Amino acid sequence: MIKKAVIPAAGLGTRFLPATKAQPKEMLPIIDTPVIQYVVQECVDSGIEDILIISGKGKRSIEDHFDRSPELDRILSEKDEILYNQLRHIENMANIHFVRQKELNGLGDAIRHAQYHCANEAFAVLLGDTVIDSVIPATRRLIDVYEQYHQCVIGVEEVEPDEVSRYGIVGGSWLSGDIMQLDRLVEKPERGAAPSNFAIAGRYILTPSVFDAIEHTERGKNNEIQLTDALRLILERENIVAATIEGKRHDLGNKLDFLKTTVEFALKRDEFAEPLRAFLRSLILDK
């Protein structure tokens, strides 16, 4: 049983400057909902309600978002029942804990901060700037794979050959159409040096052995402690599987992805679908 999830959310969000100069990238809204709320919802939909957010400098608004807001509650309880219930839902959706990463030393170092919370059991990791839109929640799928194999499970997605240097890339042999037994892991390889086109998609199930591996991981790409490098150390002693992610991954740290996601998600909302579709059509016809 996987009962805990860790959401690293301490990064600076430099790819989204200047919007992220004074606000966390995880709080950027897709229409009216901050990115990290979708990620927390994925945990809840996957059966996890104990969530540790790795926060950092300038990230206080994430804590406030999941906290109670008595002022708003008071005003809305009289004025707008729907919105009131929405806010109460956010306050109660999960048991959320926070720990601060004091220095930004990479994703591996961020995960190290979960050691106290997750020392004795496998746990899920969901990157706080990545939303995966799928019928079966991506984390639920990885949990199911973990329950079958009892090894670390990495969610992966096939990417274009010219994109491999943006991701951690896995290599190995396919056990079935969607599960790969890993024999290689490389963080952001040069094009041509990648063992496959399957990229780490920001969702993992990790066993507690990751903490010892992180302790022994030297600084890698960008002079940071990389989670991918720690997983490579685990691979020397334990098996790791990768499972392909179903559904669509949205990298909300990327401006174009953010725009596309906003449009896609708005088109799925009844109140926006029709006027937005008409607007988009008029823009295209004007061209």
Binding residue for ligand G1P, selected from 6, 96, 127, 266, defined by CB under 6 A: 127
The answer to whether residue 56 forms part of the interface with ligand G1P (CB under 6 A) is no
Residue 87: burial class (beta carbons within 10 Å; 0-12, 13-18, 19+): middle
Distance CA 169, CA 189 (A): 7
User: Phi and psi dihedrals of 239, rounded to 5?
Assistant: -80, 150
Q: Which is nearer to ligand G1P, 38 or 167 (CB)?
A: 167
Q: Which of 26, 42, 109, 187 binds ligand G1P (CB under 6 A)?
A: 187
Binding residue for ligand G1P, selected from 27, 40, 182, 200, defined by CB under 6 A: 200
Closest residue to ligand G1P, judged by C-beta, is 168
Phi, psi of 63 (to 5 degrees): -60, -45
Of the residues 38, 66, 146, 167, which one makes contact with ligand G1P according to CB under 6 A = 167
Show the beta-strand stretches assigned E in 56-195: 95-100, 123-126, 130-133, 152-158, 168-174, 179-187
C-alpha pair distances (Å), 211 with each of 40, 107, 111, 134, 227: 23, 12, 8, 30, 10
Residues 8 and 203: beta-carbon distance below 8 Å: no
Amino acid sitting at position 8: P
Report if residue 10 touches ligand G1P, rule: CB under 6 A.
no
**Judged by CB, which is closer to ligand G1P: 26, or 251?**
251
Q: Does 242 bind ligand G1P (CB under 6 A)?
A: no
Residue with Cβ nearer ligand G1P (109 or 251)? 251
Q: What residues between 101 and 120 interact with ligand G1P by CB under 6 A?
A: 107
The contact set with ligand G1P (CB under 6 A) reads 107, 127, 130, 167-168, 187, 199-200, 202, 226-228, 251
